[in-house]
Structure 1
Amino acid sequence: MFTGIVQGTASVVEIDEKTNFRTHFIKLPPALLDGLETGASVAHNGCCLTVSAIKGDVASFDLMEETLLITNLGELRVGDKVNVERAATFNAEIGGHVMSGHIICSAEIVNIITSENNRQIWFQMPAELMKYVLYKGYIGIDGISLTIGEIAANKFCVHLIPETLTRTTLGEKLQGQRVNIEIDPQTQAVVDTVERVLAQRDTNLLAH
């Protein structure tokens, strides 16, 4: 479980590329190394990955074909940075919202509007998943817990304060780039439940 409060960014220092499989070697900030062991979970751009080995301040993570297809991690190159968050502990403050680290899709940045002390970024998502994007609801973007601003067709925006731009990779993102999306699980559960109830009601009405 994660909170969507990014603890820092980490650089990709090496990539071992295989067919439909990758191993990323990530240089972690000192604060994230304390107590880290193989088998631990660390979110990379919001995607939950497992530590496969640790050597000094570099940890390695294996990425399967499904991860490479759904997320933006397969687009990373040596020197790129990722948002990182260690798994939450029971006594940790949850300043964002509960996140699983399971990415549902990626979204394209289609517009960036910058003003003094504020940045608005618009994202385009697959139309069939927009039912989970609700005004003022929570959403995970590259592992960052954010509140949804405006919604238009299959697009939505978020507003970013300077602290978010400084602490995460969103401050460096450009139009056309992709980000990982995790839907708020409570929102997804409610929407899916309502859809099932309405579908069952329609089925019962047709049967009579």
Structure 2
Amino acid sequence: MFTGIIEEIGKITTIHKGKQSSKLTIQGNIIFDDLKLGDSVAVNGVCLTATAFQNKRFTADVMSETLDRSDLGQLKIGSEVNLERAMSANGRFGGHMVSGHIDGTGTIVSMRKEDNAVWIKVSATEKILRYIVEKGSITIDGISLTVAKLDENSLSVSVIPHTGNETTLLSKRAGDIVNLENDIMGKYIERFLTSDGQNKKSKSNITMDLLTKNGF
């Protein structure tokens, strides 16, 4: 489990591509303070397992499912990536609950500077947008952000200087692909309302009208 608070920017040093998978080696610094074999590291928001490491570089396998759902397959040697270790039990929960399991990708539509912040608009599919609410949380390339605006085709976030300086987000351009992970609570609520617990659709007595009347 992660928080979406990026610890540092790493760099891809080697890529070994298989028929349907890849092996990445990533250079970092801060995350190696207590990194152990088998530990989880979020790379651009994707939860990967450290299978080997030395000289402040770790290696991770990326399976085909991950390549299909994320932008990791587009990385090149020298590409910069956002890195975060799994949350420690005594750590502060500065972002929101992030699983590291990407729901899909979005495309940057525009980037607009406004005073000391930068507005970033990202287009996404209906399958992703259905779980997003204005002022709710979204993870973009592993970064916990607040959805400031939402329409039927896109979401917008406002990036403060600190986030811009500590992550790769402001190095992106319109047309670039980013990894998106929805707040997991929305998916659990939908599952609860539409399933009988045995993978079958069922009607629930809990409706939107009932939730609204009770202040939800």
Normalising by structure 1, what TM-score?
0.92
Q: In the alignment, which residue of structure 1 is the partner of 2:154?
A: 155
**1:67 and 2:66 aligned:** yes
Cα deviation code 1:22-52 (max 9, x no counterpart): 11111111x2111211111000011000001
Q: Tell me which amino acid in the other structure corresponds to 1:171.
A: L
* Aligned residue in 2 for 1:200: 203
Between the aligned partners of 1:128 and 1:57, the Cα distance in structure 2 is: 38
**Residue 135 of structure 1: aligned partner:** 134
State the 1:201 CA deviation: 5.2
Matched AA of 1:19: K
Which ranges in structure 2 are unaligned for 5 or more consecutive residues? 206-216
Output the amino acid matched with 1:200: K
Could you tell me which runs of 5 or more consecutive residues in structure 1 were left unpaired when the two chains were aligned. 203-208
- The Cα of 1:183 is off from its aligned counterpart by 0.8
CA 1:91 to 1:169, structure 2 compared with 1: closer, same or farther past 3 Å? same
Residue type of the alignment partner of 1:3: T
Q: Percent identity?
A: 35
Question: Separation in 2 of the partners of 1:188 and 1:109?
Answer: 24
Give per-residue Cα distances to partners, 1:43-90, cap 9 Å, x unaligned: 001100000111211111110111111001110000111100001111
Alignment of 1:38-49 (within 5 A): 38-49=37-48
Matches within 5 A, 1:153-192: 153-192=152-191
Matched, 1:13 2:13: yes
Partners of 2:23 and 2:204 in 1: CA distance: 48
Q: What TM-score results when the alignment is normalised by the length of structure 2?
A: 0.88
Taking structure 1 as reference, are residues 195 and 136 closer, same or farther at Cα in structure 2, changes over 3 Å only? Answer: farther
CA distance in 2, matches of 1:7, 1:128: 30
Superposed CA RMSD: 1.6
Q: Is the 8 A contact 2:44 2:82 kept in 1?
A: yes
The one-letter code of the counterpart of 1:27 is Q
Richer in helix (by share): 1
> How many residues are paired up?
201
Kindly indicate whether residue 79 of structure 2 is the aligned counterpart of residue 80 of structure 1. yes
In the aligned structure 2, how far is the partner of 1:201 from the partner of 1:127? 23
8 A Cα contact 1:131 1:191, kept in partner = no
- The residue number in structure 1 matching 2:49 is 50
